[in-house]
Amino acid sequence: MDVAALGGKVICQKDAFLCAAQGTSIGIEFQKRIGVGLFGGEGFIMQKIEGDGLAFVHAGGTIIERELKPGELLKVDTGCIVAFTKDVQYDIEFVGGIKNTLFGGEGMFFGALRGPGKVWIQSLPFSRLADRIISSAPKMGGKRKGEGSILGGLGDLLDGDNH
């Protein structure tokens, strides 16, 4: 992202920042809206990138960049928000209904982004990617293959665990 071309400030999800060129700083951005403060979660404390250099942020899956017009509202799962420019208003809204409350999981809250400004959303947040990888890994003898060791199966062999 060219931070200067985006108005000198971009707000992104926590832990999204990877690196930046000289002239760019990273800090914490607190969202002051009532919904964000009440529900917290992924939306309350975010990172801010300020300055006039290039910055790189982490996201997963398909990345969509969208330009919101003044007053235009975009509702999205809070985990799918990657970043937005400084003029975008951000809040968290509760999604009502008994089915959503009982079965909704992460879907109980939406991030509400109101323009004007640019937003970036992702189809596969890292936490969900990790969950999918773990759930699809084969189990061996009640223990996941390579669990607990960087060396994987070789580490188990060296530890004397030859199931």
Which CATH number goes with the domain that contains 21? 3.60.160.10
Domain-located, residue 81: yes
Domain-located, residue 153: no
Domain-located, residue 135: no
Give me the pLDDT at residue 133, please.
Answer: 75
Helix (H, G, I), strand (E, B), or coil: what is residue 112? strand
Domain-located, residue 144: no
Q: Which domain holds residue 71?
A: 4-124
Domain-located, residue 129: no
pTM: 0.69
Domain-located, residue 131: no
Computed on alpha carbons and rounded to an integer, the radius of gyration of the chain in Å comes to 20
Contacts of 60 (CB under 8 A, 6+ apart): 122, 123, 124, 125, 126, 128, 129
Express each pLDDT in 70-105 by its tens digit.
999 999 888 889 999 999 999 887 766 555 555 555
**Which residues are paired to 2 by β-bridges?**
54
Q: Which tokens in the block code for residue 125? A: 């947040």
Q: Which tokens in the block code for residue 71? A: 């007053």
Per residue of the chain (163 residues), what is the pLDDT tens digit?
999 999 999 999 888 899 999 889 999 987 655 554 455 444 467 899 999 999 999 888 899 999 999 999 999 888 889 999 999 999 887 766 555 555 555 446 788 999 999 999 998 876 666 666 777 777 655 555 444 545 455 455 555 555 4
Give me the pLDDT at residue 33, please.
Answer: 56
Domain-located, residue 162: no
Please report, for residues 29, 39, 45, 53, the alpha-carbon distance to residue 32 in angstroms, rounded to integers and kept in the order given.
Answer: 9, 12, 10, 27
What is the distance between the alpha carbons of residues 93 and 19, in angstroms, rounded to a whole number? 31
Q: What single letter denotes the amino acid at residue 27?
A: G
For the chain, the domain total comes to: 1
Domain-located, residue 24: yes
